[in-house]
Amino acid sequence: MKIVVFGAGAWGTALAMNAARHPAGHAVTLWARNAQQVADMQARRENLRYLPGVPLPENLALAQGDALQCARDADLLIVATPMAALRSFLALLRDCPVPLAWLCKGFEAAAADSGSFGLLAHEICAQVAPDLKAGALSGPSFAQEVALGKPTALVAASAHASVRHTLVQAFHGPSLRVYANDDLVGVEIGGAVKNVLAIAVGLCDGLQLGLNARAALITRGLAEMTRLGLALGARSETFLGLAGVGDLVLTATGDLSRNRRVGLLLAQGQSLPQAVASLGHVAEGVYSAHTAVQRARSLGVEMPIAETVVSLLEGRLHAADAVALLMEREPRAEPERG
């Protein structure tokens, strides 16, 4: 199978490396926008900026320049850009006849003066490339571990059976299990909202509130994620799987999580710009929190943890006050109905 991965950040590079090592002998090309980055990777056989110390497979091809030309004759296209670049890439590739999947997790940022909220990836695709056979590859995964060949399980989500089947064929192998799911909305909501919740859990851990508080926050966060997903047409069982609770637990507790790191740094007294600058990578939860809350409000869905994260990120709450606000909420029945 000929696979092209667009975007040579940590996750795109890691997935391209995994595919290049697949026993089926895939022909894999990793495309980067920056010519100097490609030259450096070619010379060093390493992505020094995003995955230092992890050698690229010798059979992994590198490319830059005309992305559409690079896509020609491919059997599968993977868009590994941040959410901010997804719209332009889908518009560019809108006439490609082969399956395509995106890796980004979050909401598109809405224009500040538009009065609208940002869209999920499949909603962007419906606007700019409605004829694409597309979907998402998601689930609990840190790029560094995938690059090192450590065991990982992902979800191939799409309304198109051909997309799900192609993703499984491309990536399911000795170190990577891929499960098919036709609930694309649920998988995308899980991937977007868990980033927001991970900031809250990082804050909790940074304030040393204990493991009891962490467990409560993760569990109630899962309830928020599920409520929003159901309101948008997702299935509840999706949130009990890899793309829901699995991705949430990993991102909220793993030391490699950028979103969790934002919460930890805020708890230490850093400003949001300081915290984001220190990461060196995108933390999608910072950009998705406001949109998640906007969409929840428009649907009449309560998301108190996400609301608190937004207030914290916008400087309307200090770290300790944010925790106090959550603990002061009125008690309610558990488990919830509907």
- Reading the block at residue 95, the tokens are 């006439």
Closest to 166 (Cα-Cα) out of 193, 200, 198, 132: 132
Residue 282, amino acid: V
- Catalytic residue list: 194
Residue 241, amino acid: G
Phi, psi dihedrals of residue 204, rounded to the nearest 5°: -60, -45
Reported as half-sphere exposure (CB side, CA atoms, 13 A), residue 167 has a value of 33
Number of CB atoms found within 10 A of residue 58's CB: 7
Rounded distance between C-alpha atoms, residue 83 and residue 103, angstroms: 9
Q: Is the peptide bond before 304 cis (omega within 30 degrees of 0)?
A: no
Asked if 118 contacts 192 with a C-beta cutoff of 8 angstroms, the reply is no
Angle at CA of residue 191, ends 155 and 176, nearest 5°: 30
Stretch (H or E) spanning 191: helix 184-206
Task: List the beta bridge partners of residue 78.
Answer: 5, 101
Phi, psi dihedrals of residue 208, rounded to the nearest 5°: 55, 50
255 Cβ contact list (under 8 Å, min separation 6) = none
Closest to 76 (Cα-Cα) out of 93, 64, 61: 93
Reported as half-sphere exposure (CB side, CA atoms, 13 A), residue 234 has a value of 29
Asked if 181 contacts 162 with a C-beta cutoff of 8 angstroms, the reply is no
Give the alpha-carbon dihedral of 156, 232, 297, 263, to 10 degrees: -10
Number of CB atoms found within 10 A of residue 284's CB: 23
